[in-house]
Structure 1
Amino acid sequence: MSDAVQHPDLPPTYHADPAILALAGWLGDMVAPADFPETRIRFRNDRAAAGVGLAELPDTQWAAHFGRFAPLPDNLPHPLALRYHGHQFRVYNPEIGDGRGFLYAQMRDAGGRLMDLGTKGSGQTPWSRSGDGRLTLKGAVREILATEMLEALGVNTSKTFSVIETGESLWRGDEPSPTRSAVLVRLSHSHIRIGTFQRLLALEAADEMEQLIDYCLAHFPGPPPPEDAPGRDEPAIRLMHAVVERMADLAASYMVAGFVHGVLNTDNMNITGESFDYGPWRWLPAWDPGFTAAYFDHAGLYAFGRQPEALHWNCGQLAVALRLHAETAPLVAALERFGPLYMAAVARRWCWRLGVQSQGVEADTQLVAACEQAMREGALQPDAFFFAHRGGRGDAAGALGEVLASYAPVASDHPYWSDPAPQSMLIEEVEAIWAAIAEGDDWGPLRAKVESLRRMGEAHGAPPVPAGHA
């Protein structure tokens, strides 16, 4: 943790710690941000900013740091566009990296965790290829909505930290153009991807791989592997176990939230298990395992019901990369834990969202199956289903009624549960919120939605964690 003199305009809760500089020579490229025509603050997440000592910044400094990217005190002297490879829809691509974003700063949060500020739409980098390095304002608004909804539903997600409109007109083939532009800053625990390891494997960069493993274990350690895990004391094996646990829980959280990420490529997989890099996401209008979010996902590779398979496959690619420093057998042993961990996480999270006390994985799995059957047969929207049957209430018939009757409710007197209807995030509402901004520059519906989602998050409370985890 940095012991440098604090910036006079920042509170003592701001603790800069640009730990990534130890890897910067081979991990990324120092770049300059775009010089935007204007910087109009459209969203500042003071709740998230408070956790890293930045909530007290006045708007002028907020715009300077998160629109012009003036360096934060004692932090990265220049933005760092990260290098990585990745499987994109299972096709390996070595020609990617941060093409419209960069790592801007690192600091410690109130709990001592290392946190990153990364960008989207901050200008061209060596990895932009033919792209303009920009982000549409609509894309930024969609990311606000996605991250706020996911956080409220207990998903481990990056936080949309800031959105600043930049005054440029952009042309895009998938939305009416010209359209407004923005630069977004996200707060997350890391920006190290599975694709970061894949690049080092492709380069046979064993020394750099060792440094990266050590960096991840130092800053994102996770619980130790099981006592009987082969090779459990080897750094690469410890990391593999930690990532498998996190990805299994992330996959479960998507399914319980009824969320479809849309682009689960290995370069979009954060080794901390945080969901990030949101593009064509959708929430389910009805419980449908075949529902896809991306119009270009013609084969349904990342359909709702295939998301656990996708994250398991991505973990397999990490295992392949870690062969630079570990034998195959202990890596496979770690990978084989994904299925049981995923099932336990679904059961744990399902009971949490439904507001009932767990009876153990076996019984809870039967509850999940009964709920899924009821949603499929009734073409029910998941948010409405969970809300209607919260704590065992509602008129559940048939198999669901029999199973649910045996579950004790979790007490909750939050007024949200007495609302006439639950919060949801269906595409029609998303488009309506954007239309208010696009047609009348009316940000009221967006602000109201964020407030409503945070209230829902308060009602749910913190999501459950596996036994033995902090």
Structure 2
Amino acid sequence: MPPSPQAYRPATALLDLGPTLADPVAAADFPETRLRFRNDRAAGEIGLDTLGDDEWTEAFGRFVPLPGTLPQPLALRYHGHQFRQYNPEIGDGRGFTFAQLRDADGRLMDLGTKGSGTTPYSRFGDGRLTLKGGVREILATEMLEALNVPTSRTLSLIETGEELVRGDEPSPTRSAVLVRLSHGHIRIGSFQRLAYHRDEAGMRALVRYVLANLYGEESDDPLRLLDLVVGRTATLAASYMAAGFVHGVLNSDNINVTGESFDYGPWRFAPTWDPAFTAAYFDHAGLYAFGRQPEAIHWDVMQLAASLRLIAESDPLIATLETFGPRYQPEIAAALLWRLGVLRRGDEADRALVQTMERALRSAAVPLDRFFFDVFGGTLPDGYGDDWQPFRDALAAYAPRKDRSHAYWQGDPCSMLIDEVEAIWAPIAEADDWSALNAKVAAIRQMGEAMA
């Protein structure tokens, strides 16, 4: 069947930027296309859930253009700070944006890829994605969506029949192409590139594009853009902390100006509330450790402010940038109280509860997922002992946001630690058995329903 005529709303907004932001490219011609995962829940938001499997594979494995949207894929250009070192030689090296659609709320959504072949920015890479990397991204995005983190969604994963050699996993390994559904793919690094080239016209055009298409505001005010990005990224940083999530590579080219998390490489969920916990084996200095993520995201937004100096005065940009901390504090309280399953009482009380909780979590080193499961709805079980009494007393003043009647609360907490990721991948690698992945996605979605 074709896209649903009632829900399918194609767009071509990216073409308004002309050739300043992207290069037309072609997808790789893969030896095979075997559909492994389709996210009909996300596809339904943009009218694509009615596609049959063959049509789905043509659209998301062969990249036959979807009707009415971009005529060909576009590899986006950007620069970025990678572990605080500026790199002007990056861009979409194994992905592209190939369609734009509007959801039922009118939001502009991009369909972007990972593993779709080489581009002018591939440098020495092969432009491919390992199948394991695709599975890991499914697990990350499903878990984060359930935990109320603003995130891209994994729309499709198709195995592509090539053998890849990688230094960080057993090789040769299987290949795949992934499609993500995202509220824009414009990064802080997109602005950095324009500043690097002193392209004032391009910078003003990109500011207008983002404000109009991603924020719904007809404006070309760079201060307004920075203000919106500061707010959204403060929310993102808070949501990472409440989820116990470590992105691993919070470079400025990996920060979306909508504050939506995306591009999952060496991610991890922290077993305990350990600020020093890292996700990437190569993050030797702990730059992007769990507890340093708000600092890292703020630093990246500083690079956006620095880029906007091309078309705006420094002092108001700095003043806007300095609001990140004051905006982060109520956001982290809101995010943690959401996960505790209780209603907010006010900034001062909420901040005191969060501080008491963090002290207890650090000293007791209890499993995070177990703790949030046990306490959801506002009651801490007696088994937590006397050391938790200050938190228990503070929590007693809070009303539940939602009860525990959902079947999820009758079982065990849904977690996503690294050992389970490996356990889900093992039967796929050894016997092409996808049942563990499918069961885990179902369990994650059940958790999301129980908490929503």
Normalising TM by the smaller chain, what interval? Answer: over 0.9
Q: Of residues 287, 299, 311 in structure 1, which corresponds to 2:273?
A: 287
Shift in Å, 1:8: 5.6
How do residues 12-161 of structure 1 correspond to structure 2 at under 5 angstroms?
12-161=6-155
Q: What secondary structure, in the 3-state scheme, does the structure 1 residue paired with 2:279 have?
A: coil
Distance (whole Å) between structure 2 residues aligned to residue 248 and residue 35 of structure 1: 41
Q: Conserved in 1, the CA contact under 8 Å of 2:187 and 2:256?
A: yes
CA shift for structure 1 position 194: 0.2
Once structures 1 and 2 are overlaid, which stretch shifts more, 344-353 or 9-18?
9-18
User: Hey, what's the Cα distance between the residues in 2 that align with 1:184 and 1:326?
Assistant: 38
Structure 1 SS opposite 2:71 = coil
For the 8 Å contact 2:73–2:96, the answer to whether it is kept is: yes
Matches within 5 A, 1:223-238: 235-238=221-224
1:259 maps to amino acid: F
Structure 2 distance, partners of 1:73, 1:10, is 12
* Aligned residue type for 1:428: D
Q: Report the equivalent of 2:213.
A: 219
Separation (CA, whole Å) in 1 of partners of 2:220 and 2:434 = 51
CA contact (8 A) 2:204 2:220 kept: no
Which structure 2 residues correspond to residues 212-291 of structure 1 after superposition, within 5 A? 212-221=206-215, 235-291=221-277
**Amino acid of the structure 2 residue aligned with 1:31:** V
Deviation at 1:9, TM superposition (A): 5.4
SS at match of 2:427: helix
Partner of 1:133, secondary structure, is: coil
Find the residue that maps to 2:46 and give its secondary structure.
Answer: coil
**Cα deviation digits, residues 21-62 of structure 1 (max 9, x gap):** 111411111001000000000000000000000000011110
Match of 2:424 in 1: 433
**2:338 matched to which residue of 1?**
352
How large is the Cα RMSD of the aligned pairs?
1.5
Residue deviations 1:313-372 (CA, integer Å, cap 9, x gap): 011000000011111111111111110111100111111110112111221111111211
- In the alignment, residue 436 of structure 1 is paired with which amino acid? P
Q: Please, which runs of 5 or more residues in structure 2 have no aligned partner?
A: none
Q: Which amino acid aligns with 2:199?
A: A
Corresponding residue number in structure 2 for 1:307? 293
Asked if structure 2 preserves the Cα contact closer than 8 Å seen for 1:348 and 1:361, the reply is: no
Query: How far has the Cα of 1:258 moved from its partner?
Result: 0.2
User: Are residues 222 and 114 of structure 1, via their aligned partners in 2, closer, same or farther at CA, if it must alter by over 3 Å?
Assistant: closer
Corresponding residue for 1:467?
none
- Give the C-alpha shift of residue 420 in structure 1: 2.9
Is the alpha carbon distance of 1:413 and 1:223 closer, same or farther for their aligned partners in structure 2, counting shifts above 3 Å? farther
1:411 match: 402
2:269–2:417: 8 Å Cα contact kept in structure 1?
yes
Offset, 1:417: 4.9
Q: 1:392 is paired with a residue of what secondary structure? A: coil
Secondary structure, aligned partner of 1:119: strand
- 1:389 matches 2:369: no
Report the AA paired with residue 100 of structure 2.
Q
Following TM superposition, by how much is the alpha carbon of 1:419 offset from its aligned partner in structure 2, in angstroms? 2.4
Change in Cα spacing, 1:244 to 1:9, as seen in structure 2 (3 Å) is closer
Whether contact under 8 Å (1:222, 1:242) holds in the other structure is no
User: 1:417 & 1:269 partners in 2: Cα distance?
Assistant: 33
Secondary structure of the residue that 2:20 maps to in structure 1?
helix
> Do the aligned residues in 2 keep the contact of 1:416 with 1:456 (CA within 8 Å)?
no
TM-score for both structures, normalised by structure 1: 0.93
Tell me which residue corresponds to 1:334. Answer: 320
Amino acid at match of 1:405: A
State the identity %.
63
| Structure 2 Cα separation of the partners of residues 174 and 392 of structure 1 | 43
Task: Tell me how far 1:443 sits from its aligned partner.
Answer: 0.5
Task: Check conservation: 1:200, 1:208, Cα contact below 8 A.
Answer: yes
Q: Which of residues 393, 411, 423 in structure 2 aligns to 1:402?
A: 393
Please state how far the C-alpha of 1:392 moved relative to its aligned partner.
2.2
**Maintained 8 Å contact 2:164/2:174:** yes
Q: Which runs of 4+ in 1 moved over 3 A?
A: 7-10
**Aligned residue for 1:162?**
156
1:466 matched residue in structure 2 = none
CA distance in 2, matches of 1:222, 1:12: 22
Q: Partner amino acid for 2:188? A: I
Query: Is this contact kept in 1: 2:3–2:47, CA < 8 A?
Result: no
Partner of 2:353: 367
* 1:465 aligned residue: none
Conservation of the 8 A alpha-carbon contact between 1:387 and 1:417:
no
Number of equivalent positions: 447
Check 1:432–1:8 CA distance in 2 against 1; reply closer, same or farther (3 A cut).
Answer: closer
Distance 1:287 1:364 in 2: 19
Query: Is the 8 Å Cα contact of residues 46 and 103 (structure 2) preserved in structure 1?
Result: yes
Native 8 Å contact 2:249 2:280 kept in 1: yes
> Where do residues 191-230 of structure 1 align in structure 2 (5 Å cutoff)?
191-221=185-215
Q: Which runs of 5+ in 1 are unaligned?
A: 1-6, 225-232, 462-470
TM-superposed CA distance for 1:383, in Å, is 1.1
- Mapped partners of 2:108, 2:430: distance in 1: 40
1:424 aligned residue: 415
Deviation at 1:404, TM superposition (A): 1.5
The range that moved more, 416-425 or 93-102, is 416-425
Flag the 1:65–1:140 CA change in 2: closer, same or farther, 3 A. Answer: same
Residues of 2 paired with 1:370 and 1:103: CA distance? 45
Q: Distance in 2 between matches of 1:276 and 1:200?
A: 22
Contact map agreement 1:223 1:242 (CA 8 A) in 2: no
Instruction: Identify the range of structure 1 (377-386 vs 35-44) with the bigger mean alpha-carbon deviation.
Output: 377-386
| CA shift in 2, pair 1:62/1:234, >3 Å | closer
Is 1:376 matched with 2:362? yes
